[in-house]
Every structure is written in structure tokens, then in C-alpha cells.
Amino acid sequence: MVTHGNTDDTPGASPPKPRATTRAPVVLQVLPALETGGVERGAVDIAQGLTDGGWTALVASEGGRLERDLGRVGARHVTLPLATKAPLALRRNAGRLADLIHARGVSLIHARSRAPAWSALWAARATGIPLVTTFHGTYGRGPLGMKIPYNRVMTLGDRVIAISWFIAEHVRTHYATDPGIIRVVPRGVDLARFAPEVVSSHRIARLATAWRLPEDAKVVLLPGRLTRWKGQALLIEAMARLARPDVRCLLVGSDQGRAGYRADLEELVRRHGLTAQVHILDHCDDMPAAYRLASVVVSASTEPEAFGRVPAEAQAMGRVVLAPRHGGAREIVENGVTGWLFEPGNPASLADHLVLALDLDVATRDAVTRRGMAHTRQTFSKATMIRRTMATYKELLYGAPPLETIWRGHD
């Protein structure tokens, strides 16, 4: 076990100087586990980009289903108890990570979650390698801001990746982070999977049959796990105001044990007399086909999302998107250009925009969806996410310049 040296926790502290070496870099990503989710999927995607670029990709976590995906892209997984939040365990994990850094010749460490980020910070300072953190959400501040010191670790990297300009501004404003170390790297959509041309009519028909949809139905789709802030209840209220018997509404996502919330939604559907129109479905394994089945895709989150994977994926699939006018959705959906933004938490506003989207003429719909596809492919692709992340690594490892102006802010 190594002894921890410099543990300077000052935001923007001078990063280690780039080391002259001809050896391909070794990048270690750390996160709690590899079961499922955007953070985990992003770690696998970056690992693929590293190995495709001839670098060595390591990922340390408690493991999970996505370990197999890491193996497929040529990355290596190291099992460590990184989900713990116990202070003494965080220190022990710092030692384990420092040992791993020495044993595998790690060049840079990238922390993707708060608890392992503390261990990664101490290990990076002890071993003299650069630290990158990714700020994935606004994170709860707790009563009287008690969680702010715990959250702050995500701003202590030599570079801080924000997954949207919304998050970048949040980090700068709430944590007084030096804008010079912030890099905006939006999450990436896998355009090899989320592309209209790869989804067969058979896949779409299979879902339509399984979900018992009439052939002529207009479909409003809200994907996302069943949790209150995702806004399923808001969409049900909007459907009640819409009063369109020809429209079917699909709420697609697992309740992940939230049986009480699911029951509340079912009762809300019954109360509004919408049992023939609103269907609460479980997890779908073929989301590209689900998007193609829809006439309109809705993101109804009542709290600002850090990014907004649903609007980005739906636009990539050539679908009209409605999203709330807050958070990262404002960067994905260009109001009136690639889709429409409604007032957050307002069922009447959502209903009005549903009418607009459902009644578009063919020419207008085609123009909107073409622009949406182009915007997503240009800005929110997995390839772009990988390129921008690796450019951030190269700044620290080689002294390379940033890809763009460091800070421009965002309205």
C-alpha cells in the first residue's frame, strides 16, 4: 500500500506536467458499478474509443452486466469495492487505486461518480497523474447544503467534463469552478443503432402487435423509468386535456420496484377515463423500433435533466420531439426548428404542443425531423463524445490545445 502524498483539494490546482513518453497512454475510469445507466454506458463507449485509438483502457468498479461489453471492446475490468461511501473505505480505496496505477502504468484517471472520485483524487495526487472528473448531474445539495462539500469532489479534477452547457453553468455558478478547466462533452447517441434505416418494418410491427396498437393510431411515446420526476403523470393530465380518442399514449419503462407510483399512475388513468388510450408498459429491449413506432416522442421531466438522452435519441430516429423548456433539453431541441419546448410542469402547455405536433402536415413534419436528425448527428453522436473526451485527455497528457473556446456560456 502506498503512502498518500500531496492531497491538495484546491479546485484547479496545477495538474501534473505532461510526461514525455512514446508508450501509448493507459486510462483508468472509475465508477461504482457496471449494471446499467448512462454513466455506465458512457464508460464503455469511452473504453471502446481508447482501444480503437491504440490506447489501453482500464475500468475499475464493483462490476455488473456491462463487464461483458467492456471485454468485447478490448478493455479490462478490475473489481474493486468502489460503491462504498464510508470515509475509511474511501481512503482504503485510494490506496488500492494507487497500487493499481503503479502496477498497470496508468497515465490518467477519470472519475465518473462522487464516492470513487474521492478515492481517485487522493490516488492521483499521491501518484502524480492527472485526474479528470465528469459532472453528470446537478446532484442533491441536501438540507442546508450539507452535501455540497461531498459533491465538490467532482469539481476538483484537473479537467472537469460537463455533459451539457446547462451543467457547465451549474458547476461554475454553484461551486465557483474555474471556467478554464471545464470542458463540455455531451453524452453520445450510438448512431449505428439509433438510425431509421437500420430498423426493419418487421421490428416495428412486432412491437405494435405486442402492445396491441390499432393500425391507424397516432402514438405518443414517453420512454423512461417510472419515477415521479420523469413526468408520466404530467403527460396523462395532458392527454386528458387533449381529448383525442384516436391517439394512443405509451409510457415505456420499468418501475424498478416503485409499485406505489405505478399504482398511482394507473389510478390517474382510470380517473380520467383513459384506460383505452394510455398504456403503462415495462422496459423495452428495442427502443429504436419503439421510437419509429411513435408519431411524437415526449420528454416530460419536471426537474431539469442534465442532458436528456430521450430527445437526442428520438431526433436521431427522425421523430418529432416535445421537451420541457429547461435543463439540457434546450440544447438538444431547437424550439420550432427540430421540435418544440413546452412550459415545464404545465399540462395545458404540453397538451397544446401535442395538438401542434400531431397535426403537422407531411412537408412540415419532414422538414422538422430532417433538421432534428442533422442536429443530433452533428452534435450528439457517440463518435463526437469520444473525440472530445480524448481531446481532454490529450490536453493533460501531451499539452494539446483544447478543441474550442474554453468558455462561452449558454443561455
Same domain? 218 vs 289: yes
149 φ/ψ angles, rounded to the nearest 5 degrees: -60, -35
Domain check: are 205 and 341 in the same one?
Answer: yes
- Name residue 298's beta-bridge partners: 322
Query: How far is 299 from 312, CA to CA, in rounded Å?
Result: 10
Do 359 and 217 fall into the same domain?
Answer: yes
327 in the same domain as 219: yes
How high is the pLDDT of residue 404? 67
CATH number at residue 243: 3.40.50.2000
Cβ atoms 320, 296 nearer than 8 A: yes
Does residue 19 lie in a domain region?
A: no
Measured CA to CA in angstroms, residue 358 lies from 125, 154, 288, 337, 339 at distances of 55, 42, 20, 16, 12
- Judgement on whether residues 264 and 123 belong to the same structural domain of the protein: no
Provide the pLDDT for residue 145: 76
- Establish if 163 belongs to a structural domain: yes
Apex CA 212: angle with CA 209 and CA 214, to 5°? 95
Based on the fold, state whether residues 281 and 301 are members of the same structural domain.
Answer: yes
In a domain, 320, yes or no: yes
Say what the pLDDT of residue 410 is: 47
- In the block, residue with C-alpha cell 490518467: 108
What's residue 256's pLDDT? 79
Q: Both 154 and 230 in a single domain?
A: no
- Do 217 and 176 have their domain in common? no
On whether residue 1 sits in a domain, the answer given is no
Give the pLDDT of residue 1.
Answer: 34
- First-to-last alpha carbon distance for the chain, in angstroms, is 48
- Counting the structural domains of the chain, the total is 2
Q: CA-to-CA distance for 392 and 395, rounded, in angstroms?
A: 5
Listed in sequence order, the residues at least 6 apart from 394 whose beta carbon sits closer than 8 Å to its beta carbon are: 400
| Residues 170 and 211 grouped into a single domain | no
Looking up cell 479537467, which residue turns up? 159
Residue whose C-alpha is closest to residue 123's, from 94, 148, 83, 90:
94
46-76 burial, b if ≥16 CB within 10 A, otherwise e? bbbbbbeeebbbbbbbbbeebbebbeebebb
Q: What confidence score (pLDDT) does residue 19 get? A: 57
CA distances from 156 to 51, 176, 404 (A): 27, 11, 22
Q: Are residues 124 and 174 in the same domain?
A: yes
> Same domain for 170 and 242?
no
- Report the candidate in 406, 407, 399, 403 with the shortest Cα–Cα distance to residue 15: 399
* Domain assignment of residue 367, given as a range: 196-379
**Is residue 41 a part of any domain in this protein?**
yes
Query: In terms of domains, do 166 and 219 share one?
Result: no
- Beta sheet of 218-223, edge-to-edge order: 278-281, 247-252, 218-223, 296-298, 320-324, 339-342
Query: Tell me: the pLDDT tens digits for 152-203?
Result: 999 999 999 999 999 999 999 999 999 999 999 999 999 999 999 999 999 9
Residue 346 domain-assigned? yes
pLDDT tens for the chain, residues 1 to 411: 333 334 445 444 556 666 555 689 999 999 999 987 889 999 999 999 999 999 999 999 999 999 999 999 999 999 999 999 999 999 999 999 999 999 999 999 999 999 999 999 999 999 999 999 999 989 887 887 778 899 999 999 999 999 999 999 999 999 999 999 999 999 999 999 999 999 999 999 999 999 999 988 999 999 998 999 999 999 999 999 999 999 999 999 988 788 999 999 999 999 999 999 999 998 899 999 999 999 999 999 999 999 999 999 999 999 999 999 999 999 999 999 999 999 999 999 999 999 999 999 999 999 999 999 999 999 999 999 999 999 999 999 999 998 865 445 444
Q: Is the residue at 308 inside a domain?
A: yes
